[in-house]
Amino acid sequence: MPFFRLAKHLRPKVIYANVEKFDVRREVVLRIPGVEDTIERRGLEEDEQAVKGIRKFVDGLASRWNPRELYRVVLSFVREGILHEVGQTIDWESFTQDIDETANRIGEFVEELVERRGSEQEQETNGKIAACVAALKTDERFTKGRTNKAKRLLLARTMFPDLQDAVLNAAIRQAEAELWLANTDRNN
């Protein structure tokens, strides 16, 4: 190697050896940079299940690789103000493949969490709508006479101040449809 021939020729007093140990966590963060962005973009940063699940994937990857193995070795010396340096980074093809597989699993895990969270929110919203519909159908102010949508929305807002207008509008439409259906059954 030219470095060693040069070192033999120049005979430096000191050759510095910088040996870097393999840091799995750092490598994972470097090679899977979008994980944190995905969590933030999907609104999962406060979801303990998401954070614990991703940490579990990273810990599993870390447990499969020995953190004490050499990763990078750099030899250097200075002669007459010039830095001479040679370095070798160990490339582990199987580690790269393992990181790619882990990144895919993390992505699937996050997508599954987002879908599950969405379905849970949908079920919760449907429960709120059902409770609101039941209350509206039993209230005379909603069922008597012909009231317009604005008045029905105002009534729903006073009865359920903690619900959003989109949920209230859906409940009003559902209650109107059920009342109409009940009236058509009585007329026949």
| pLDDT 10s digits, 51-88 | 677 777 777 777 776 656 656 778 888 888 888 888 87
pLDDT for position 29: 62
Is residue 96 located within the same domain as residue 27? yes
Between these two residues, 174 and 20, which has the higher pLDDT value? Answer: 174
pLDDT of residue 43: 61
Q: What's the domain range around 106? A: 2-124
Give mean pLDDT, residues 44-50: 66
> Is there a single domain that holds both residue 114 and residue 149?
no
Tell me the range of 53-57, 75-79, 130-134, 147-151 where mean pLDDT is highest: 130-134
Query: How many other CB atoms are found less than 10 A from the CB of residue 72?
Result: 13
Instruction: Summarize the confidence of residues 120-149 as an average pLDDT.
Output: 83
- Average pLDDT over every residue of 1-30: 72
Query: Do 98 and 31 fall within a single domain?
Result: yes
Residue 32 sits in the same domain as residue 112: yes
Q: Record the tokens describing residue 6, joined without a space.
A: 């040069």
Number of Cβ within 10 Å of residue 152's Cβ equals 21
Contact yes or no for 103/113 (Cβ under 8 A): no
Distance of alpha carbon 68 from alpha carbon 89, whole angstroms = 15
Count: domains in the chain? 2
